Each structure stands twice: as C-alpha cells, then as structure tokens.
Structure 1
Amino acid sequence: MNKVYGGGRNAVRALDDVSIALPRGTFTAIMGPSGSGKSTFLHCASGLDRSTSGRVWLGETELSRLKEEQLTVLRRERVGFVFQAYNLLDALTVEQNVTMPFRLADRPVPYDRLRAALAQVGLADRHDHYPGQLSGGQRQRVAVARALIHEPEAVFADEPTGALDTRTGRQILELLRRIVDDLRQTVVMVTHDPVAASYADTVVFLADGKLAGDMSKPTPERVADRMTRLGEW
C-alpha cells in the first residue's frame, strides 16, 4: 500500500509500496525511526485511515472497497485497539468502558464475555471501579479487555507501554503475549522499544516509509542493533 499526504511539491509519501502479510494468531511488532511510517501503517492496516493506493485486507474483506459507514462497523466489530493514552471515559466504570463497543452498536451486552475479558486481564474484582481509581497499568488492562470483548480478528496496539514504567509495561507485554498464545489472537504492535519488540514473534522494520526487513525470534540486543543501523540512535 501507499499513503501520501498533501499534493504537488508539498506531497509527503508516508508509506511507499509497503506489502506485508500478518498471519492470523501471531504477534508482530512494527519498528522504525521517527517518521518511518509505522503509525501510518497501523492506521491504514486497521481501517482508521485509508491508504492512497494499493489494497488492504482484513481476512476476506478488502478495506479499501468499504464505505465510511462500513469501515466504522468493521472497526467496532472486527478490530480491537489499544493506545498509549488508554482512551477510557473517566465518568464510566470499568464494566461500562469495556462494554462500550456493544453500547455504541446498540447491542445487548454479553456479560459472559465481559467476565471472561476482565478475568483474562486480571481485573475481575475491579468491574465497578472508575479509571481514576486505577493505576496506569490497570487502565491499560481495561483497554486490552475492551479490545478483546467482541472477539476481534486482530488487535492493533500503538505504543501500548509508552506511558508506563518498566515493570508495568512488562506486565502489559506479557498480557499481549498471553492472549496470542492462549487465545490465538492476532496482535500488531507499533513500538520504539527493543525490549517490547522482543515479546513479538516477528519484528517488521520500516525506514522512510519503506520496508527495511524483518526479524524472527527477536531479542532486545538484536533489535537494538538493527535499529542502530536504521539510524534510530
């Protein structure tokens, strides 16, 4: 796919002929220097934004053919999102935040799924708490539960540990790893942290909007070395 912002001499090519297959039931980390296009890739791959040209598929569905209303439904029902800033509503309880996808769709809340999602993220006893009563790590766990409750085909995480301390960030990464291993969930994570990337099955590197290779069975040391050669540090 390609993504271009602006036009004429002011055009910026954020993604340049990027073609990636992300197998179902795997954990993929997307890395690259600042401005490499990794967040743009995540937005286009998840349906948050449209590519300028090329095709994007989620399973058997080609996103580029969908109308805006259809994309909205797809994001709500078939994709989960986890962001650095949690994106929780402070006036709602944990339970209400997690079940938001169903409330927005005006569909009955499946309380069995709610209980399962909260148990998976270790918050079964926090369902009636508000975000302000939780730690940063607990709030990110709520965001993960919200991403999982509708059993999406893929979870897209954009710097999910960026606002967390090292210990708490590691717990969130272990949680993401566990939902891939235990639930066969598909996770795609943008990160700048070699340690975070080492939790993935595969790391895909971007540089200047182009693919710059990949790495299987990553370690923090190998990822850091590759990033150094991409000009990150």
Structure 2
Amino acid sequence: MDAVTKTYGTGESAVTALREVSIGIARATFTAVMGPSGSGKSTFLHCAAGLDRPTSGRVRLGDVELAGLKEAKLTAVRRERVGFVFQAYNLMAALTVEQNVALVPRLSGHEIDGAWLRELLHRVGMGDRADRRPSQLSGGQQQRVAIARALINRPEVVLADEPTGALDSRTGRQVLELFRQLVGELGQTVLMVTHDPVAASYADSVVFLADGRIAGELRAPTAAQVSDRLTHLGEA
C-alpha cells in the first residue's frame, strides 16, 4: 500500500477515512491492525482487499496493481488470491462442512483438490465433522470452517475482520492459535483487524491507525503493551 488516501463523498460532506497511508506486509507474517473507532481500520482492510478503490495512491497484491484493474479482473483476483474471514461466519446453512469449504472453487469453476481439502479440514480440527451442517457446530467450529474456506484456493493473504469478536475468550484463543500455526507451518500471510489487545498479542506486529493515518507499529507485542499504546492513541 503506497500513499493511499480514501475519501467518501464530495464537497463539505466529504469524509477522508485514510490519509497517505503507506505500509508493506511481509509474506508469512501475522499482522494486526488496531485503532479507535473511526480510525480507518475497516477502510484499510477494504482497500487492501480490493473491495474498495482508493481515491489516490496504489495498492499491490504481490505483483498485481489492484487500482488499475477492471471490475471483472479485480473480482477474479480477490477470489483467487485473497481469503476472507469475518466475525460472522457466513456459512451456507444447507451445505455440509466439506461443501462449504469447497464452495469457492466450485463457484469459480475450478477443480477441487480433494487431498488439499481433507488436509485443511484436518488442520483446522474439523476432519471428523466434514458431513455436519453449521447448525450442528459451535461458534468456534463454524469459524474454523470459515478459515478452511478462506484457505482452499491457497491465497496469498488472508484478511480477517474481527474473527474472534463473536467468540468467548477460550474459543477465541484457539482460533488465534490456529492462525499462528497457519503462518508458521504453511507460510500463510494473515492481516487481521481487531479491537482486542489479547487477540493482537498473537500477531508478529501490530499496526496502529488514528485519524486515517499510521500512528505507529509494535513488534512482538504483549497485550499490556497494546493496551497502553491504544490508551495513548485515545489521548492523542
């Protein structure tokens, strides 16, 4: 992301959510993004994913410049190179666990790699529940299925928006430990927006946003360090 500015609206009603934001996310790392309400976290994630086009500046995913792509190509890049995990699991109630994970390549017209599908279900701890439906699963289990679905196309980056927000603390920790394993064992790149200092402490680094600008970075963070930094952001 290079000098990205995103403004919504025009004239006196214009709101600038991001202001000249420049940042690079290294491969095979786990990065958390934090900041006060209205700091630009969601817009940051949307621009990084190609869900929203910046008003100015450039966003690159690997060797692809997203801003210059037409909508059809941009959709294809998102589908094939970006995995998404949300607070709401967004699983299809009528489909089994295995069918939910296989849905993305099926909709894309791609052949499903059965061995990779089975490996993913095993890695996220759902190998013995492949034939169950979402209503038969706990919230944490549903989020594990959503993570497997995000990984099925072997994306370059997984973007997670408050992935533990609907989970209790114990289940949330299990999901965060799973992200850490995916980074360490599969070399996956994870970018996560969160409001929770404990969740952020699982990341390799935390990037702070305030008023649409980068307001600092904390490497090898602890929950206490993150909380302290957020307090100072609020005071600023």
**TM-score normalized by the length of structure 1:** 0.98
Deviation at 1:149, TM superposition (A): 1.1
Q: Which residue of 2 aligns with 1:177?
A: 180
Q: Which residue of 2 aligns with 1:19?
A: 22
Deviation at 1:186, TM superposition (A): 0.3
**How do 1:133-148 and structure 2 match up within 5 A?**
133-148=136-151
Decide which of 217, 220, 231 is 2:220's aligned counterpart.
217
Paired residue type of 2:12: R
Say how many residue pairs are matched. 232
CA-based RMSD of the aligned residues comes to 0.8
CA offset digits 1:86-125 (Å, max 9, x no partner): 1111111111110111111112211111101101101001
What CA distance in whole angstroms lies between the structure 1 residues aligned with 2:167 and 2:119?
Answer: 25
Q: Which residue of 2 aligns with 1:228?
A: 231
Stretches (4+) displaced over 4 A:
none
What CA distance in whole angstroms lies between the structure 2 residues aligned with 1:93 and 1:2?
Answer: 41
**How do 1:25-36 and structure 2 match up within 5 A?**
25-36=28-39
Deviation at 1:75, TM superposition (A): 1.0
Q: Which residue of 2 aligns with 1:42?
A: 45
Paired residue type of 1:185: Q
What CA distance in whole angstroms lies between the structure 2 residues aligned with 1:51 and 1:91?
Answer: 37
Q: Which residue of 2 aligns with 1:114?
A: 117
What CA distance in whole angstroms lies between the structure 1 residues aligned with 2:148 and 2:141?
Answer: 10
Decide which of 126, 129, 135 is 1:126's aligned counterpart.
129
- Secondary structure at the counterpart of residue 211 of structure 1: strand
Q: Which residue of 1 aligns with 2:153?
A: 150
Does structure 1 retain, via aligned residues, the 8 Å contact 2:8–2:14? Answer: yes
- Secondary structure at the counterpart of residue 104 of structure 1: helix
Deviation at 1:150, TM superposition (A): 1.0
What CA distance in whole angstroms lies between the structure 2 residues aligned with 1:35 and 1:116?
Answer: 39
Q: Which residue of 2 aligns with 1:196?
A: 199
Deviation at 1:172, TM superposition (A): 0.3
Paired residue type of 2:175: I
**TM-score normalized by the length of structure 2:** 0.97
- Secondary structure at the counterpart of residue 2 of structure 1: strand
Paired residue type of 2:220: K
Give % identity: 66
CA offset digits 1:112-139 (Å, max 9, x no partner): 1110110110100111110011000000
Deviation at 1:48, TM superposition (A): 1.4
Does structure 1 retain, via aligned residues, the 8 Å contact 2:105–2:152? Answer: no
- Secondary structure at the counterpart of residue 64 of structure 1: coil
What CA distance in whole angstroms lies between the structure 2 residues aligned with 1:19 and 1:73?
Answer: 25
Does structure 1 retain, via aligned residues, the 8 Å contact 2:35–2:233? Answer: yes
Paired residue type of 2:6: K
**How do 1:60-99 and structure 2 match up within 5 A?**
60-99=63-102
Paired residue type of 1:206: L
